[in-house]
Chain A
Amino acid sequence: MLASSCQNMPESYAPPVQRQPFEDSRPHRMSRIVNVADADAASHFVRDIAPGEPAPWKWTNQNPAVKVTPRTNQGLRYIIDFTLPEVTFKTTGPVTVTFSVNGHDLDRVKYTAFGEYHFEKAVPPEWVEPLKETTVEASIDKVWVAPTDGAKLGFILTRMGLTQ
């Protein structure tokens, strides 16, 4: 065993092939979007999003929110994909959803029909501090209340967060 400790160490090496810079590259685009299907999605949930295993979509309560940590506050856009299902819409009728970041209301949109929706809007840089946890929220004014157990359902969430 001692004999085997006498290894042949390399004598020396010549300089290797030199790597050259790229001519056609672009910088990274920050995108902190929580997709509820992702395995780590639950770690971003702040409130009002159905817990449990990752799934392609999840029910929310009235004020769903996620937390993300953007590296920059420049050129950020709020982004959300959600569905107002026919089954709840029949009861609630038209609803208004308020989109906010760190408690600042970004926009308020009235939806008069059920269906799938995408909302996207630029976020003022001063609302976000780089490398700090940022809360991205959406608040629906009317929820559907289950007659049996009183459970409140807002809308169906697919993804929400910030992107550049």
Chain B
Amino acid sequence: MWQAFWALLGAAVTVAGCYATGALAIDYLDARLRREERLPLAFVLGASLLHLAIFAVLALKIAYRPVLIAMMAAVIGAAVWRGSWKLKGESFAPLDNRLKVFGGAIFALFTVLYFFHAWAPESSPDGSGYHLGLVTRYLRVHGFEQVVTSMYANLSAGIEMLYFPAFAIGKHSSAALVHYAFLIALVMLMFAYGRRIGRPWVGAAGALLMYASPVVGLDGSIAYNDCGVAAIAFSVFYWLELWDEARAAKLLIPIGLLAGYCYAAKYTAFVMAIYALGFVVWKTRRVRPALIVAVCASAMVVPWVAKNWIYAANPVAPFFNKVFRNPYRHVVTDQEYTEYLSNYGVENKWTLPLEVTVRGQNTGGLIGPVFLLAPVAFLALRFREGRRLLLPGLVMLAPYMTNVGTRFLIPCLPFFSLAMALAVPWAPVLAAILVAHAWLSWPSHIPSYSAKYAWRLDRILWKQAIRKIPQDRYLSENFAGYGVARMIDDNAPKGARVLAVNGVADAYTSHEVLVGFQAALNDDLADVLNAGWDEIRQPERRRIFKFPARTVRRLRVLETAKGAPLEEFKVTELRFFFQGKELPREPEWKLRAWPNPWDVQMAFDNSPVTRWRSWETAWPGMYIDTDFGKYQMVDEVDLDTSPDYANLRLQVESMDASGQWVKIADDPRDEVLRPPPDIRRWASRELHERGIDYILMQDTDWGADDMREDPGSWGFKEIAKGHGARIYQVVTP
């Protein structure tokens, strides 16, 4: 029960802190708001400012629980003392009773479902993975640290910043409740918008279309950030509307701050900043107002850019690694990841509308069948408000094709929901649509039309929320990721890094788990592990370049052809010979490679399980270059490599006295190599040398059966088993 209390308290304190900060700012800006819009606008604006303060606390490495609590107490105290805490302003015209009862009933029904889900133990994949995994990690060290093992550490995390004080008080569920507060603020704001334009039924219908959407309710009640992003983007729109009415220059400040906060919350939401700037320029035809917006937005953006520049050598990490080259993230992994996000395995993009509205399996969740009627929204173009809604809606929709997950539609949904409601201006019809939407969105009804494994809410988790069912029991029985995380903590010594093929619930383990695709270092380690069992990665091919003996100081192997997509240049070992005798590798040799210069030593370490890879599709001009430091006689170059590329063309070049590269051999002869029979031991020793002594394998992971059938041949010992996974320890490196 105490867990439930602290969870609620953590969220309440954080939400109050956001509101207090925003209320102070609104009073400072002298913004004239209606009573009903003050609360949600203050909450979101306050969140943006508070996120910056928490960012500073983390950067200063003083993220201790008392510091975070003191911050919240200070802003709440200041707001109460300055009188900003009170709800002020004129109210909108009173609502008619039918709307109150009808809208209130649907809202209350879904609120019970969502609130208890948010309050219940957190068991969402990404929430318990990186969203809160990084929160727990930074809280352990009381601030930011360089994380080279997870690309997620480089995503902007403007909403997750608010999870810090919440988590410090009430742990995981507190964070989910804070995210839920964003959803409530968004719904309040949408409703307020309808009342502001004199159409309360439109506001209520738009808000409830959004609120009852299955994916919105699910996402908004876990520690994700999509509903938060939607709330911020809609706040930008709302402030722009307020500014357009009043033309008060001070209102450009919240517009800019929130536009920048869009980027800070999620990269793709940055388009809202462009919309805000464009709107202000269009309305004023002047530079200065746009400049105010831009400067305020920069205040929110720059910290995240700087953090990535310092820690990841890439201001927009984890993307654009071909432009901002760095040793932390591979280009090909980036390509594969973005390629996957652009389709989620959905081959035919024309099926997406059905997938995201009705089926909800491949793209993770459904917005609800009623949104098949979304084109109706364009009928709202006949109204000024409709045009005003649809433009930012389309702007927020624009980045969707870069990530077609259903929840990535959430940020544009408020605009389309309101536009849909606006397009159907008859209250009885709106009421009928809402009833149908609510009925179809209720958890027990969804399976009747969705795909079998659609991501959705299941039931009201009130017993789990108040911890009548203990948290540990609930998570152990219902969330395999939790069991695996606990298994890691119970079996791996403190501080030991664990290598895994797939993600785990990082927020429930104190160990650092290195997941294959999440960073360059992890890619390299996974490549070593997989070389132990996967023949396609083993050096089964020797490419032999023979040429008349010559004296050289510097040699390189140059790749001259364009590879097929994702076809890389890979070199397990590169050796030089004279009269059949290998030149011993000397410390004065200077090794270089391009691209991926950081891994060149892996082609010169005499190991069959490590290799230099270009980690991007091969293009003419890639090379591995060896400077012997003195002149050497050489007549043969051997390149050991895997058999998984065919289109590459290699040639050996030497540097002449004038510094020019001269081709000395091409058209190599290929020989079949037999990797050592104990190659698995080579792999485990290499992992041990790189600080990895624990490997987590899910039973369904690639390579899991190979380890399971004979751990001894790997030098492994199975030290734990359960929840569909095993942990191996390297015992004989």
One of A22-30, A57-65, A133-141 contacting the partner: A22-30
Least Cβ–Cβ distance between A106 and chain B, in angstroms: 20
How far, in whole Å, are A21 and B676 apart by their CA atoms in the complex?
Answer: 9
A148 in contact (CB, < 8 A)? no
B686 in contact (CB, < 8 A)? yes
B111 in contact (CB, < 8 A)? no
Residues of the B chain whose Cβ atoms lie less than 8 Å from the Cβ of A15: 585-587, 589, 591, 601, 604-605
Closest B residue to A70 by beta carbon equals: B709
Residues of the A chain whose Cβ atoms lie less than 8 Å from the Cβ of B710: 28-31
Which has the most chain A C-beta neighbours within 10 Å: B313, B325, B699?
Answer: B699
Knowing A22-B681, A40-B699, the reply to whether A30 touches B709 (Cβ < 8 A) is yes
Closest B residue to A163 by beta carbon equals: B709
One of B137-145, B411-419, B557-565, B592-600 contacting the partner: B592-600
Interface positions of B from 700 to 733, Cβ below 8 Å from A: 700, 704-706, 708-710, 712-713, 724-725
B314 in contact (CB, < 8 A)? yes
Can you list, as one digit per residue, whether each of A12-51 has a CB less than 8 Å from chain B (1) or not (0)? Answer: 1111111111100111111111000011100100000000
Least Cβ–Cβ distance between B709 and chain A, in angstroms: 3
Contact A26 B678 (CB under 8 A): yes
Contact B590 A14 (CB under 8 A): yes
How far, in whole Å, are A67 and B394 apart by their CA atoms in the complex?
Answer: 51
Contact B724 A7 (CB under 8 A): no
Residues of the A chain whose Cβ atoms lie less than 8 Å from the Cβ of B682: 19, 22
Contact A39 B709 (CB under 8 A): no
Counting chain B residues whose Cβ lies within 8 A of the other chain, the interface size class is 35 or more
Residues of the B chain whose Cβ atoms lie less than 8 Å from the Cβ of A18: 585, 605-606
8 Å CB contact of B590 from A12, A25, A43: A12
Residues of the B chain whose Cβ atoms lie less than 8 Å from the Cβ of A28: 677, 680, 706, 710, 713
Closest A residue to B324 by beta carbon equals: A5
Knowing A4-B315, A15-B585, A39-B724, the reply to whether A26 touches B601 (Cβ < 8 A) is no
A10 in contact (CB, < 8 A)? yes
Interface positions of B from 605 to 661, Cβ below 8 Å from A: 605-607, 627
Contact A10 B598 (CB under 8 A): yes
Interface positions of A from 115 to 164, Cβ below 8 Å from B: 163
Closest A residue to B679 by beta carbon equals: A28
Least Cβ–Cβ distance between B288 and chain A, in angstroms: 24
Interface positions of B from 259 to 317, Cβ below 8 Å from A: 305, 309, 313-316
Contact A5 B699 (CB under 8 A): no
Closest A residue to B597 by beta carbon equals: A10
Least Cβ–Cβ distance between B704 and chain A, in angstroms: 7
8 Å CB contact of A25 from B586, B681, B686, B704: B681
B588 in contact (CB, < 8 A)? yes
Contact A14 B627 (CB under 8 A): no
How far, in whole Å, are A110 and B607 apart by their CA atoms in the complex?
Answer: 52
Residues of the B chain whose Cβ atoms lie less than 8 Å from the Cβ of A12: 590-592, 627
Interface size on A, residues (CB 8 A): 33
8 Å CB contact of A39 from B586, B680, B698: B698
Contact A1 B305 (CB under 8 A): yes
B326 in contact (CB, < 8 A)? yes
Contact B601 A16 (CB under 8 A): yes
Least Cβ–Cβ distance between B313 and chain A, in angstroms: 5
Residues of the B chain whose Cβ atoms lie less than 8 Å from the Cβ of A16: 601, 604-605
Least Cβ–Cβ distance between A71 and chain B, in angstroms: 9
A9 in contact (CB, < 8 A)? yes
Residues of the B chain whose Cβ atoms lie less than 8 Å from the Cβ of A9: 325, 597
How far, in whole Å, are A32 and B709 apart by their CA atoms in the complex?
Answer: 7
Closest A residue to B480 by beta carbon equals: A39
Least Cβ–Cβ distance between B641 and chain A, in angstroms: 17
B108 in contact (CB, < 8 A)? no
8 Å CB contact of A14 from B315, B587, B713, B724: B587
Closest B residue to A33 by beta carbon equals: B709
Closest B residue to A1 by beta carbon equals: B315
Residues of the A chain whose Cβ atoms lie less than 8 Å from the Cβ of B706: 28
Contact B700 A39 (CB under 8 A): yes
Contact B627 A19 (CB under 8 A): no
8 Å CB contact of A13 from B586, B590, B686: B590
Contact B724 A25 (CB under 8 A): no
B323 in contact (CB, < 8 A)? yes
Residues of the B chain whose Cβ atoms lie less than 8 Å from the Cβ of A38: 699, 708, 724
Residues of the B chain whose Cβ atoms lie less than 8 Å from the Cβ of A29: 709-710, 712-713
Knowing A4-B315, A12-B627, A32-B705, the reply to whether A17 touches B605 (Cβ < 8 A) is yes
How far, in whole Å, are A12 and B605 apart by their CA atoms in the complex?
Answer: 15
How far, in whole Å, are A40 and B587 apart by their CA atoms in the complex?
Answer: 48
How far, in whole Å, are A29 and B712 apart by their CA atoms in the complex?
Answer: 9
Closest A residue to B601 by beta carbon equals: A16
Residues of the B chain whose Cβ atoms lie less than 8 Å from the Cβ of A39: 698-700, 724-725
Contact A25 B592 (CB under 8 A): no
Contact B709 A13 (CB under 8 A): no
Residues of the A chain whose Cβ atoms lie less than 8 Å from the Cβ of B313: 4, 7
Least Cβ–Cβ distance between B38 and chain A, in angstroms: 37
Least Cβ–Cβ distance between A86 and chain B, in angstroms: 29
Least Cβ–Cβ distance between B503 and chain A, in angstroms: 16
Residues of the B chain whose Cβ atoms lie less than 8 Å from the Cβ of A31: 709-710
How far, in whole Å, are A163 and B589 apart by their CA atoms in the complex?
Answer: 47
Can you list, as one digit per residue, whether each of B677-692 has a CB less than 8 Å from chain A (1) or not (0)? Answer: 1101110011000000
Least Cβ–Cβ distance between B667 and chain A, in angstroms: 28
A-B contact pairs, 25 of them (CB 8 A): A1-B315, A4-B305, A5-B323, A7-B325, A9-B325, A10-B598, A11-B592, A12-B591, A12-B627, A13-B600, A14-B589, A15-B601, A15-B604, A18-B606, A22-B678, A25-B713, A26-B713, A28-B706, A29-B712, A32-B709, A39-B699, A39-B724, A40-B699, A40-B705, A54-B724
Question: Would you list the 7 A-B pairs with minimal beta carbon distance, nearest first?
Answer: A39-B724, A31-B709, A25-B678, A39-B699, A12-B590, A15-B585, A28-B713
Interface residues of B (CB under 8 A from A): 305, 309, 313-316, 323-326, 585-592, 597-598, 600-601, 604-607, 627, 676-678, 680-682, 685-686, 698-700, 704-706, 708-710, 712-713, 724-725
